[in-house]
Amino acid sequence: MKQLLFPEDVQFWYETLRLFGHTSYGGSEFGEILSTSEKITVGDYDSWHDAWLATAERVAAEAARSLEAGHEVSARDGYLRAATYYRSAEFFLHGNPDDPRVEYAYTRNVECFHAAAALYTPAIESVEIPYEGTVLRGYFYRAAGEGPKPTMVMHNGFDGSAEEMHFFGALAGQERGYHVLTFDGPGQPSAIHREKLPFRPDWENVVGPVLDFLAGNPAVDPARIALLGISLGGMLAPRAAAFEPRIAAVIAVDGVYDATGSFVSALPFGREELERRARAEHDAEFDAILAAGREASPVLRWACDQGRYVMGAASDREFLGKYLDYHLRDGVAERITCPTLVCSAEEDLFFAGDGENQAEPEALFEHLTCEKTLMTFTVDEGADAHCHVGAQRLAMSRIYDWLAEVLR
């Protein structure tokens, strides 16, 4: 898909397209995105923050006035969009997590989402899932009707939140008759902001407590629980399914066999060399290569800042050393036994591979030995971007249609 905005910065364009995509389920407004984007200086993180914060504050204030006047639908819609814009405001600031702007915008994001959630019928329930002496936060969307229902459990990836899953499948599942449980695992926003829990690759030890939490809910049919992961979640969810027999089906949006593949494509090393150098105690030459890569690539610059934050790493090299553990190699993919849907984006910014490296969804699909489906989204459909952010209703239609057949 052609970059219509920020042609010099693919990362800024992707995040803007992501915002456009959320219009599908009420998470943004086309004109608000355009007018805000006009105020942003390409590559300037402060400019990005200031523009999106101003829009978020304006929309949130209007939503508050609507609620005070008793206009609940208008208030719900406004709070939902404001939550999206607050999330976007702090998105690029994680290189310095102590920046007070991060905490302010994140807190307002969650507050606005909670305000919107309370105005749905039935209300979207905030939940706290017991986890290793603390909690994982998320939301339960209750389907209409009586009796046990099939349930979709879903989580985001490297940088997205449980609140954003509202647009990435939660609302779509509820309106199709599924209960939906969204949550933030370690490394994801509420866990890293509130509990300071960094990512962990053994995601079955995260999903297990989530399924334990659902086991106490008589509305949930325990034989029909599916798991969906977005972005890096396209590796984490299959990883959980490899070791967790209670999952009836797993969906990887988009599929990831080895998350390090995005860095292998961006740096002049194969995986083995990258692993050796990233995990070395000292490697000044490698540090210099990373620094030069940050200067040349908006994607690498952002990914390293985000990675240090969510992995609990002190340096870009330490982050890469940790990130090397996020894969389904060594027979893990082959352990999955439940039906698996692997989604693939034709022009994925992160995992499409190149002439020398295979695309991650196709690599995962080849290693699966279970009942499996590869679902490719294309440029002609406007769905070619990472996680199909430009065509969210199309993506959710196909995913849930597949799931309906599998769980039938």
74/94 Cα distance (integer angstroms): 32
Q: What is the DSSP letter of 217?
A: -
Alpha helices in 347-391 (DSSP H): 360-367
Residue 353 banded pLDDT, cuts 50, 70, 90 = confident
> Contact 180/208 with Cβ under 8 angstroms?
no
Residue 148 banded pLDDT, cuts 50, 70, 90 = very high
Residue 355 banded pLDDT, cuts 50, 70, 90 = low
> Contact 75/90 with Cβ under 8 angstroms?
no
Measured in whole angstroms, how far is the alpha carbon of residue 367 from the centre of its chain? 23
At a CB cut-off of 8 Å and minimum separation 6, what does 67 contact?
A: 75, 79, 115, 119
96/318 Cα distance (integer angstroms): 16
Both structure tokens of 219: 């509305």
Q: Show the domains of the chain with their CATH numbers.
A: 10-117 (1.20.1440.110), 125-259+326-407 (3.40.50.1820), 262-323 (no CATH)
Both structure tokens of 102: 């991060």
Best CA proximity match to 1, nearest among 355, 394, 390: 390
Least confidently predicted of 152-161, 239-248, 278-287? 278-287
For residue 272, pLDDT over 80 is answered with yes
pLDDT for 289-326, tens place per residue? 889 988 889 999 999 999 999 999 999 999 999 999 99
Average pLDDT, the chain: 95
Both structure tokens of 216: 């106490």
Q: What distances in angstroms separate CA 46 from CA 8, 9, 159, one per listed residue?
A: 17, 15, 18
Best CA proximity match to 152, nearest among 129, 132, 171, 126: 171
* Angle, helix 316-323 to helix 271-278, in steps of 10 degrees: 130
* Residue 358 pLDDT: 86
